[in-house]
Amino acid sequence: MTEVSSLTGRLLVATPALSDPNFDRAVVLLLDHDEEGSLGVVLNRPTPVGVGDILEGWGELAGAPGVVFQGGPVSLDSALGVAVIPGDEGAVRSRRRPSREDPIGFRRVHGAIGLVDLEAPPELLAAALGSLRIFAGYAGWGPGQLEDELVEGAWYVVESEPGDVSSPDPERLWRSVLRRQRSELAMVATYPDDPSLN
């Protein structure tokens, strides 16, 4: 088997050609990617369910809009917390760990971005977290499956920014992530929602 170059911490941005309705115009943050498969969360699928309605104590820590996001089609009955530690944004593009210790209940994934242990008492993390999003379910790929989708042209792979996790306007994240690219990808942001109406 060929060695897999890790895409952990990067964004998968659905191409207009991707036909799976679960990922139409999706922006996926990859939380884990290696030869055993990939796992990520869709950053731009807010639900009407408030975080405080299902996870007591976490609602006050969740960033606006303060709702649960549908992280993907797998395990919709499970919850994942993804957060950014303020002041660590410079570490995002590197694999370096900051000099200070991570707070209890936080596992760094990439740069300033990490997973929150939702079993931990929220007050342990309250002072450390800059932004928090709660995701119901996740997106998952078996060994080689994501690589096949990349070869087929289903996804653009771009760098993430800490603000992507807590975008105040998640419905526009697909366009804004593409628009900030310094390549022809920026033009894809203007792709119409329904090309047949063009």
Q: Is the pLDDT of residue 57 over 80?
A: yes
Q: Which residues contact 108 (CB under 8 A, 6 or more apart)?
A: 85, 97, 102, 114
Q: Is the pLDDT of residue 3 over 70?
A: no
Q: What is the mean pLDDT of the chain?
A: 87
- At residue 138's C-alpha, the angle toward residues 64 and 190, to 5°, is 65
Percent of the chain with pLDDT over 90: 64
Q: What is the pLDDT of residues 104-131, one digit of tens each?
A: 899 999 989 999 999 999 998 888 888 8
Statement: the pTM of the whole predicted model exceeds 0.85? yes
Q: Is the pLDDT of residue 27 over 70?
A: yes
| Least confidently predicted of 58-62, 87-91, 117-121, 157-161 | 87-91
Instruction: Considering only residues 168 and 81, tell me which one the structure prediction assigns the higher pLDDT.
Output: 81
Q: Which residues contact 55 (CB under 8 A, 6 or more apart)?
A: 79, 118, 134
Q: Is the pLDDT of residue 55 over 90?
A: yes
CA gap 132, 68 in Å, rounded: 10
Q: What's the mean pLDDT in 164-191?
A: 89
Q: What's the confidence (pLDDT) of residue 103?
A: 86
